C-alpha cells in the first residue's frame, strides 16, 4: 500500500513537471519506475518523454537505453529496436537485460532461433533464470517443438516452483502431444513435492479428465478448490467432469456454488440450463437459457439449447427461430446444423432442412451418419431415388462403408430397381455380413423380398 502511494506520487511529480515545463530532479531508480509505469500502461508518449529526460540526466544508463528499445518494439518498430540493442550490446556485451530484450524483439519478428540464442546467452549472466528458460520454452512452443518446450518449462519450474504460467504452458504442450498420461504423472510428482500449488492440482484435474479418469480428476480439482476457495476455473472444470459422468444434479450444485462468488454471466447460466436439459427439467432449462442469451446475445450454444428444449416442450414453431440464431452466431458447428435440419423439416421448411444437411456434411465430412440421416429425410419427404442420389455422393467419400451400401440397397429395392439394389446389397454383405439385419430394421418389408433373401442366403453359406 505504501509503495503504491509513493509510486503514484512519483508519477504525479513527473506529469506536473511535463505540464509546467520546470525540470526537477529524479534519481535513476525513480525514473526507471516512472518509465516502467508508462510502458506497462502503454502510454508511449509519456514513456518516451521519461526515457529522454532520463538520458539527459544519466546519459550512460544502460537500463534507459534498453527501455527505449523496448518502447520501439511496443510501437512495432522492431528493426529500429534491434539496431539500438545491438549498439548497446557492443558497449555492454555481458549485460543480461540487453540479451533478454533482444530475444523478445526477435520473438516478435518470429525469428525463433535468434530469440532462443539470445535467451541462452543471458542464462549464465542472470541471477534468476526462470524467465530465460520460460521464454526459450515459448519460442519452441510457437515453433511447434512441444517436446523441447516441455524440457525448458521444467527448468523454469525448477528455478521457481511458483511459476504458475509455466505449469499451464507445460500442460498445454503435453496436451498438444497427446501425452495426457505423461502430463498427469509429472504433475502428480510435482504435487508430491509442492502440495499447495493450486495451478498444479487444477491442471492435473484437467489431464485426468482428458483421458477419462473422472474420479481422480474430481479429487485433484477438489484439492485446487481447497487451496483457493474462489478458484472459479476449478469449479467450472469440476462441474464439467461431473456432467460428463452423468451426475448432472451434482454438477448443478457446483455451478450454483460458483454463483455465490463469481459475477453472474451468460456462460454459467448456459451450463445450468444444459444440466437442467439433461435431467429433463425443460422449463428450468428454458429459464436459464433465456437468462444466458439476455446476458450474451451471441452465445450460440444457449440459442441451440433454447431450440432443443422448446422442441421437447412441443413448441417446434417457437424453436425454429432459436436454431436459426444458433447457426447465425456459430456457422461452423455441425451439430447445430443437424438440429436445424430436424426442426426445419418438422416446420415443413424442406428447402432449409436440405440446405442444413448439406452444410453439416461439409463441416463434418468424415461422419457417415450425417449422410444416412440426410438420405433418410429425402426418402421421407421426396423419393427413394433422391435419397439414393444423396448416398451416391456419400459413397465417393466412404466407399468401404457397409452401412451406406445396405441403406442404398433399401432405397433401390423400394424404387423397384432390384438389379441395382442387389449389387449394393452384395457389396454390403461382402464388407460386413453381420450388419445385414439393419436392412429389416430400416425396411421391414424386405423380409418378404425374394431377391434380397436369396442373396443373403448365398452369403450365409
pLDDT tens, position by position, 239-250:
999 999 999 999
Alpha-carbon distance of 358 to 352, in angstroms, equals 10
Kindly state the cell numbers that stand for 364. Answer: 463434418
CA-nearest of 406, 410, 399, 393 to 432 is 406
Kindly state the cell numbers that stand for 280. Answer: 429433463
Q: What are the helix (H) ranges across 144-231? A: 146-159, 164-176, 180-193, 198-210, 214-227
- Please report the DSSP string for 86-130 in residue order: HHHHHH-TT-HHHHHHHHHHHHHTT-HHHHHHHHHHHGGG-S--H
For cell 540526466, the residue is 57
Q: What is the pLDDT of residues 217-241, one digit of tens each?
A: 999 999 999 999 999 999 999 999 9
Task: Give the mean model confidence (pLDDT) for residues 140-164.
Answer: 97
263-364 and 370-461 in the same fold? yes
Instruction: Give pLDDT, residue 282.
Output: 98
CA-nearest of 321, 260, 261 to 293 is 321
Q: Count Cα atoms within 13 angstroms, Cβ side, for 137.
A: 26
Q: Which residues are CB-neighbours of 281 under 8 A, at least 6 positions away?
A: none
- Three-state DSSP at 75 gives coil
Task: Give the mean model confidence (pLDDT) for residues 338-345.
Answer: 98
Task: Give the mean model confidence (pLDDT) for residues 401-418.
Answer: 94
Between the alpha carbon of residue 101 and those of residues 63, 82, 87, 91, 160, the distances in Å are: 11, 9, 13, 15, 21
Kindly state the cell numbers that stand for 113. Answer: 532461433
Neighbours of 452 (CB within 10 A): 23
455, 426 contact by CB (below 8 A): yes
Instruction: Give pLDDT, residue 136.
Output: 98
Kindly state the cell numbers that stand for 231. Answer: 478458484
Task: Give the mean model confidence (pLDDT) for residues 104-129.
Answer: 94
Instruction: Give pLDDT, residue 461.
Output: 59
| Percent of the chain topping pLDDT 70 | 98
Between the alpha carbon of residue 39 and those of residues 50, 53, 69, the distances in Å are: 10, 15, 11
Kindly state the cell numbers that stand for 401. Answer: 462403408
Kindly state the cell numbers that stand for 185. Answer: 504423472
**Segments making up each domain of the chain, as ranges:** 263-364, 370-461
CATH T-level topology, domain 263-364: 1.25.40
The pTM of this model reads 0.81
Alpha-carbon distance of 137 to 166, in angstroms, equals 9
Neighbours of 144 (CB within 10 A): 10
Please state the length of the chain: 461
Instruction: Give pLDDT, residue 162.
Output: 95
Check if CATH label 3.20.20.70 holds for domain 370-461: no
Confidence tier at 458 by pLDDT (50, 70, 90): confident
Instruction: Give pLDDT, residue 7.
Output: 53
Instruction: Give pLDDT, residue 1.
Output: 37
114, 130 contact by CB (below 8 A): no
Amino acid at each position: 500500500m505504501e509503495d503504491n502511494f509513493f509510486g503514484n506520487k512519483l508519477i504525479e511529480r513527473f506529469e506536473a513537471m511535463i505540464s509546467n515545463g520546470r525540470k526537477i530532479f529524479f534519481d535513476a531508480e525513480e525514473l526507471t519506475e516512472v518509465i516502467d509505469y508508462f510502458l506497462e500502461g502503454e502510454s508511449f508518449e509519456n514513456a518516451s518523454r521519461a526515457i529522454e529526460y532520463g538520458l539527459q540526466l544519466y546519459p550512460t544508463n544502460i537500463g534507459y537505453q534498453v527501455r527505449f528499445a523496448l518502447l520501439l518494439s511496443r510501437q512495432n518498430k522492431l528493426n529500429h529496436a534491434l539496431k539500438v540493442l545491438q549498439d548497446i550490446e557492443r558497449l555492454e556485451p555481458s549485460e543480461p537485460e540487453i540479451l533478454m530484450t533482444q530475444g523478445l524483439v526477435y520473438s516478435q519478428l518470429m525469428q525463433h532461433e535468434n530469440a532462443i540464442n539470445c535467451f541462452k546467452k543471458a542464462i549464465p549472466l542472470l541471477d534468476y533464470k526462470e524467465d530465460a528458460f520460460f521464454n526459450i520454452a515459448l519460442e519452441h512452443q510457437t515453433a511447434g517443438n512441444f517436446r523441447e518446450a516441455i524440457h525448458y518449462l521444467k527448468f523454469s519450474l525448477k528455478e521457481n516452483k511458483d511459476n504458475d504460467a509455466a505449469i499451464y504452458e507445460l500442460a498445454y504442450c503435453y496436451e498438444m502431444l497427446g501425452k495426457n498420461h505423461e502430463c498427469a504423472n509429472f504433475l502428480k510428482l510435482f504435487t508430491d513435492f509442492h502440495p499447495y500449488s493450486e495451478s498444479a492440482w487444477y491442471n492435473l484435474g484437467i489431464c485426468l479428465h482428458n483421458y477419462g479418469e473422472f474420479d481422480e480428476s474430481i479429487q485433484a480439482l477438489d484439492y485446487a478448490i481447497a487451496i483457493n476457495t474462489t478458484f472459479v476455473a476449478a469449479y467450472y472444470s469440476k462441474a464439467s467432469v461431473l456432467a460428463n459422468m452423468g451426475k448432472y444434479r451434482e454438477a448443478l450444485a457446483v455451478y450454483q456454488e460458483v454463483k455465490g462468488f463469481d459475477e453472474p454471466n451468460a456462460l454459467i447460466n448456459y451450463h445450468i440450463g444444459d444440466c437442467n436439459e439433461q435431467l429433463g427439467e425443460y422449463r428450468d432449462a428454458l429459464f436459464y437459457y433465456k437468462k444466458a442469451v439476455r446476458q450474451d446475445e451471441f452465445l450460440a450454444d444457449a440459442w441451440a439449447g433454447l431450440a432443443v428444449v422448446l422442441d421437447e416442450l412441443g413448441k417446434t414453431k417457437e424453436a425454429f427461430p432459436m436454431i436459426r440464431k444458433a447457426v447465425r452466431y456459430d456457422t461452423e458447428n455441425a451439430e447445430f446444423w443437424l438440429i436445424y435440419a430436424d426442426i426445419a423439416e418438422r416446420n415443413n421448411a424442406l428447402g432449409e432442412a436440405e440446405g442444413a444437411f448439406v452444410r453439416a456434411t461439409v463441416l463434418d465430412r468424415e461422419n457417415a451418419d450425417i449422410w444416412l440421416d440426410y438420405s433418410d429425410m429425402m426418402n421421407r419427404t421426396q423419393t427413394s431415388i433422391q435419397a439414393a442420389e444423396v448416398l451416391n455422393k456419400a459413397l465417393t467419400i466412404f466407399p468401404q462403408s457397409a452401412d451406406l451400401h445396405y441403406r442404398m440397397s433399401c432405397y433401390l429395392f423400394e424404387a423397384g430397381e432390384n438389379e441395382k439394389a442387389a449389387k449394393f446389397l452384395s457389396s454390403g454383405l461382402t464388407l460386413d455380413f453381420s450388419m445385414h439385419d439393419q436392412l429389416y430394421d430400416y425396411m421391414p418389408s424386405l423380409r418378404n423380398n425374394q431377391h434380397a433373401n436369396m442373396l443373403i442366403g448365398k452369403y450365409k453359406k
